[in-house]
Amino acid sequence: MVVGLIIACEVAFWVLLAAGLTFRYGLRMPRTGLALLLCEPLLEVVLFAVTAIDLKNGAQPDWRHGLAAVYIGFTVGLGHSTIRWADARVAHRFAGGPPPVKPPRYGTARAVHEWKVAGRWVLASVVALVLLQAAIWYVGSGGDTGSLRQWQLRMLWLIGINVVIAGSYTLFPKKKPAGQR
């Protein structure tokens, strides 16, 4: 049941995003579009509640419950930037907005950009870690929480990978080719 709900939440995320942008730009109803976009967090609340109820009703915590926590974390950390990314492209394509800003390619500006991206991934991972730990405490010592601990290790690895990538842009900044402005 939890996996089906995760899939439903992912589909609903994209449906709400498409509907919100359609109302905002295609139908020229920005308030309705914004209202639809603001419904996105409700998906995570529903997923969180159903997962907690499933655990409360005696379900053994497994990879599905961990996946739910990770999905919620990723939506918190990356959902806003995904919506902003899509909004900029739709506004440019269909509403005469300015072209989307491309990330910087070189030097300190690129390093700063990479640290911001890493920050979003770290936020997503930390939210997932907190939710996973809450689930472990919620289940208590009576249940097998090994699968939830495995998800926590994956999130720590994800944090490490993002810090290494951002750090590499800081320590070894990409330089502009000679003769380019």
Predicted model pTM? 0.86
The residues near 37 (Cβ < 8 Å, ≥ 6 apart) are 16, 17, 20, 21, 24, 83
Per-residue pLDDT for 179 more than 80?
Answer: no
The residues near 115 (Cβ < 8 Å, ≥ 6 apart) are 166, 169, 170
Per-residue pLDDT for 83 more than 80?
Answer: yes
What 3-state class would DSSP assign to 29? coil
- The string of pLDDT tens digits covering residues 28-45 is 999 999 999 888 888 888
Q: Write down the pLDDT at residue 145.
A: 84
Q: Write down the pLDDT at residue 181.
A: 66
Q: Once rounded to an integer, what is the mean pLDDT over residues 42-56?
A: 85
Q: How far apart are the first and last CA of the chain?
A: 55
CA distances 10 to 25, 60, 80, Å, are: 23, 24, 14
The answer to whether 144 and 61 have CB atoms below 8 angstroms apart is yes
Could you tell me the pLDDT band of residue 142, with boundaries at 50, 70 and 90?
A: confident
Dihedral of the CA atoms 119, 125, 129, 130 (nearest 10)?
Answer: 50
Task: Pick the range with the lowest mean pLDDT from 31-35, 47-51, 99-103, 119-123.
Answer: 47-51
Largest CA distance in the chain: 66
- The string of pLDDT tens digits covering residues 148-165 is 999 999 999 999 999 999
Per-residue pLDDT for 10 more than 90?
Answer: no
Could you tell me the pLDDT band of residue 139, with boundaries at 50, 70 and 90?
A: confident
Helix count and strand count (H, E) for the chain: 6, 0
Q: Write down the pLDDT at residue 146.
A: 87
